[in-house]
Amino acid sequence: MIRYLTNNTLSPAHKQGVTVAENTITAIEEARFTMEIYSILLIVSGGFNIRVNNTDYQVGTGDFLYMPIGSVVHIFNSPSSTTIYSYSFTDGYCCANLLDTEQALAFQRSIHNQVVLLRLSATTYVSLETFYRLLRIKQAESVHAPDDEIKKLYFNLMICEIIGLCKEDTGYESYHNIRNQNTLGRFIQLVRENFKQQHSVQFYAEALCVSAGHLTKIIKHASSKTVKQFIEDALIAEAKNLLNTERLSILDIAEELQFSTVSAFCKFFKKQTMMTPTAFRNSCSV
């Protein structure tokens, strides 16, 4: 992989969609470039210094490095011989062949665009090295007998391997928390814009491209409140505002907030505030 990066030529992955390779470089020349493919590197021996998206990394034997498409990379001169196992794939191949599994969704939501450098334990390194060798054997066989389904299976297994490694790393948890906070911010904005018309958790989950259960888990973890509580709080706040500042009928307010009937609105309001809408309005008048 590094030889394609240092001379800035296209990797075979551009033609095949996905490729596995073993490269030994006697000396790495300084180079700057932007990643056009996803790249996973396992450093067998040697090492080099690299800057990715303005962050410096010192990569050495036994390290695992993942760089997404669009990463701005600067590799520095290195006189030492370096051997690397590489696994590369294009965005098109990823979109077309990533199976709809929990691991695949985790990849898309979390480290899809995140640079990852992991210091592997001896056991993990051996397991990953074995996995790379199996992939290389399958790739060599597919030259004579192409088997896209087997290639797809191995591709998804590799993605699962990445997610498993990242979950063991504390850096992943910090990034995951950041992602949760970002999702919380987007969710709150959606509630502000849609709470009058949309009262269901499913609507907000679909708008954020996640399942209702996963969205509830993220929001609860990031804020200690549930998705449903956010929606209900927004409705109650607006209902109180309308009851207090607008001379609208209870029917008008129920329709404004998209309740099916006045009865449904009154039942909802009393459950949340322990008062009927009329009682609340009267208390405001007093």
pLDDT in tens, 109-163: 666 678 888 888 887 788 778 778 777 776 776 654 445 566 677 777 777 777 7
- 122-130 long-range Cβ contacts below 8 angstroms, 24+ apart: 122/62, 124/165, 125/42, 125/62, 128/42, 128/64, 128/161, 128/165, 129/42, 129/44, 129/85
Q: How many CA atoms lie within 13 A of 110 on its CB side?
A: 25
Which of 36-40, 90-94, 147-151 is modeled with the greatest confidence?
36-40
Q: Check if the beta carbon of residue 47 is closer than 8 Å to that of residue 84.
A: no
Torsion of CA 222, 223, 224, 228, to 10 degrees: -110
Q: Answer whether residue 46 shows pLDDT above 50.
A: yes
Q: How many CA atoms lie within 13 A of 34 on its CB side?
A: 2
Q: Answer whether residue 263 shows pLDDT above 90.
A: yes
d(CA 182, CA 145): 45
- Is the model more confident about 103 or about 254? 254
d(CA 3, CA 260): 65
Q: Could you identify the residue written with the tokens 């979950």?
A: 167
- Is the model more confident about 60 or about 154? 60
Which tokens belong to 51?
Answer: 């800057």
pLDDT score, position 174: 45
Lowest mean pLDDT among 88-97, 180-189, 272-281: 180-189
Question: Helix-strand-coil percent breakdown of the chain, rounded to 5?
Answer: 55, 20, 25
The predicted model scores a pTM of 0.54
pLDDT, average across residues 256-270:
93
Share of the chain above pLDDT 90, in %: 16
Q: Answer whether residue 249 shows pLDDT above 50.
A: yes
d(CA 279, CA 265): 14
d(CA 70, CA 76): 19
Q: Answer whether residue 68 shows pLDDT above 70.
A: yes
Average pLDDT, the chain: 78
